[in-house]
Structure 1
Amino acid sequence: MAERSFSQKLPWLDRAGRFSPLKATCLALVALPALWVIWLWATTGLQPRPLEEAIHQTGSWAIRLLLASLCISPLRRLLNWPRLMLVRRMVGVAALAYALAHLALYVVDQQFDLVKVASEIVLRFYLTIGFVALLGLAALGVTSTDAMVRRMGRRWQTLHRSVYVLAVLGLVHFFIQSKVDVTEPVLLTGFFLFLMGYRLMVRRWQPAPWRLASLAVASALLCAGIEALWYGLYRGAPMGAVLGANLEFAYSIRPAWWVLAAGLAAAALAAAGSWQASRAAPGRPAGPRLSARGS
């Protein structure tokens, strides 16, 4: 019995102790960035300051994976794929692992001077909010086990809803740390706005394709506005010129367009699901019925 209990805790196995291709694939995907950073470090690909670059890479992957964990519930519904929820915990724990690596590498960069590290965290606002976000992620990670879910009851769900606040703190930390080029923080913020809008939507309505398309447009416009506001306030750039640059494709596709594309893709998935349901034979269920209240 003890051996079976241990096997069930292995990340690539399901609750019954069987090999899960879905969980194994997810485990490989969340491990790839760490392996890539290690490979670049070993092959001098992180020059000229490998430690600083590794700090940035691990921090970036922490916030990326945190937002990826927020994508799972919407995708579960849009794809009508309940088993996708099996990997949400793994993705969240991976985000915590990268955040811890981010802090650990920063400690190494400060030559293990913990007093200096603590003072920097207290004195630098972006480090303070990043550390608060890390503490919050650690609390969610510690309470993510099945035993803690049972022990905490309804309090568990209340605690884990704080992930939305932690994501905001992580994005603010990313913005301030990026300073000049905030392309990726803007992009991730746009995705976050869409995901939050989706959660608000499904509390009252079914996520109809036209609603998701409207949400995609609104999220993209907010994303463009945030980018213009940041460059206007931080760099003194004319906000109108920044907004105009979002309409040009000469050099790069701006984050707002990627947010729009992702939102419209979600609308297309919803349309495909509605079409498939309409073709189902009378009296035969089109698939598992999912709750509208995804977390």
Structure 2
Amino acid sequence: MPAASPSPAPSAFARLVRPLLFERSGALSTEKAVALALAFAPLAYLSWIAASGGLGARPVSAAIHFTGLWALRFLVISLAVTPLRRAFSWNKLILARRTLGLAALGYALLHICLFFVDQGAARAVQEIVLRVYLVIGAVALAILLALGLTSTNAVIRRMGAQNWQRLHRLAYGAAVLGTVHFFFQSKLDVTEPALMAGALAYLFGFRLLVRGGDAATLARLALLAVLSALATAGMEAAWYGVATRVDPWLVLEVNFSFDLGPRPLWWVLAGGLAVAALTAAEQRRRPRNCSTGRADPSGSRAR
């Protein structure tokens, strides 16, 4: 009987794409596939509106804003995987985080490339050196690039899990820097930067809270939601007071009313309370670990 011919070595493209779609067992991951589709959805939308002339009189500037916005959105969403994973007891959701983080890097790189196209290489470098908010954005991009380059399984094995986790905690730093950059870019209307800042305040608080393993009770998560919402309103008021000389008390008053629609404070509060309710429901549904007397700690340690 002739010997079976060896299977051909996977191409470079296959080696790149396979971790983004398949689990280690070789099974197709629904979480990874959905995350990959979500990662390309904004780019597809941007291409469509660009082709239809919907980017306005300055299409490159509009594309710069769009890609920067989605870079930060995907970064915050990737950091939100842990609380969502705990709230829904959805352990496999962690499989989507790498794709979401790489999406943040991809849109950030597209963001800076479009900036160089719009300004020209020499002027773009000059602007980055001279303007503080562009320096902040460049540092955030450098962090994302370092995280992206160390996201392969081979690098994780070489670095070791603990060293890799310590490095990838810098994702929070990149998110903070990206949000500050977004505040400067947005100038007068900082609704979305304030929302991002509030979401990060919640995620920081959640990370500290779940270090206690069984500490994520309904009362503590609800308190975290309230404190994060108040921090959101405070950061928005502080920004307007410092950057625009608008009376911060007036901004706070607007935050606690619905005259201009729900402000970021209310979105952060609603999201935080939803996570609290879902987490509490999941804790009631699942039996406690008889051997340790603690609730299931899965998902409590993450980037």
TM over 0.5, shorter chain = yes
AA at the equivalent of 2:143: G
Work out whether 1:212 is the aligned partner of 2:212.
no
Q: CA deviation at 1:22?
A: 2.1
**1:112-152 alpha-carbon deviations (Å, 9 max, x no partner):** x3222111110011111101110110000000000000101
Query: Which residue of structure 1 aligns with residue 73 of structure 2?
Result: 64
Q: CA deviation at 1:216?
A: 0.4
Query: Which residue of structure 2 aligns with residue 268 of structure 1?
Result: 277
Query: Which residue of structure 2 aligns with residue 128 of structure 1?
Result: 135
Q: Which of 26, 51, 62 does residue 53 from structure 1 map onto?
A: 62
Aligned-partner Cα distance in 2 for 1:23–1:171? 26
Aligned-partner Cα distance in 2 for 1:37–1:260? 30
Q: Which of 82, 89, 98 does residue 73 from structure 1 map onto?
A: 82
Q: Which of 137, 142, 146 does residue 144 from structure 2 map onto?
A: 137
Query: Which residue of structure 1 aligns with residue 23 of structure 2?
Result: 14
Aligned-partner Cα distance in 2 for 1:144–1:13? 15
Q: Which of 288, 291, 298 does residue 290 from structure 1 map onto?
A: 298
For the aligned residue pairs, the C-alpha RMSD in angstroms reads 2.3
The count of residues paired between Structure 1 and Structure 2 equals 291
Aligned-partner Cα distance in 2 for 1:52–1:9? 31
> Which stretches of structure 1, 4 residues or more, deviate above 3 A after TM superposition?
3-9
Q: CA deviation at 1:277?
A: 2.1
Aligned-partner Cα distance in 1 for 2:110–2:10? 31
Query: Is the 2:82–2:300 contact (alpha carbons within 8 Å) kept by the matching residues of 1?
Result: no
The 1:288/1:208 distance shift into structure 2, 3 A limit, reads closer
Q: Which of 175, 178, 182 does residue 186 from structure 2 map onto?
A: 178
Aligned-partner Cα distance in 1 for 2:29–2:74? 21
Q: Within 5 A, what are the aligned runs for 1:206-245? A: 206-245=215-254
Structure 1: state its 5+ residue gaps. none
Work out whether 1:30 is the aligned partner of 2:30.
no
Aligned-partner Cα distance in 2 for 1:243–1:289? 38
**1:66-125 alpha-carbon deviations (Å, 9 max, x no partner):** 000101122222211111111110000000000000011111112xx3222111110011
Query: Is the 1:229–1:239 contact (alpha carbons within 8 Å) kept by the matching residues of 2?
Result: yes
Secondary structure of the residue aligned to 1:3 is coil
Aligned-partner Cα distance in 1 for 2:21–2:301? 28
AA at the equivalent of 2:68: G
State TM-score, norm by structure 1.
0.92
Aligned-partner Cα distance in 1 for 2:76–2:128? 24
Query: Is the 2:136–2:178 contact (alpha carbons within 8 Å) kept by the matching residues of 1?
Result: yes
Aligned-partner Cα distance in 1 for 2:85–2:79? 11
AA at the equivalent of 1:59: G
248-257 vs 99-108, which deviates more?
Answer: 248-257
184-193 vs 199-208, which deviates more?
Answer: 199-208
**1:167-196 alpha-carbon deviations (Å, 9 max, x no partner):** 111011000011110000000100000000
Q: CA deviation at 1:4?
A: 9.4
Query: Which residue of structure 1 aligns with residue 260 of structure 2?
Result: 251
Aligned-partner Cα distance in 1 for 2:81–2:170? 17
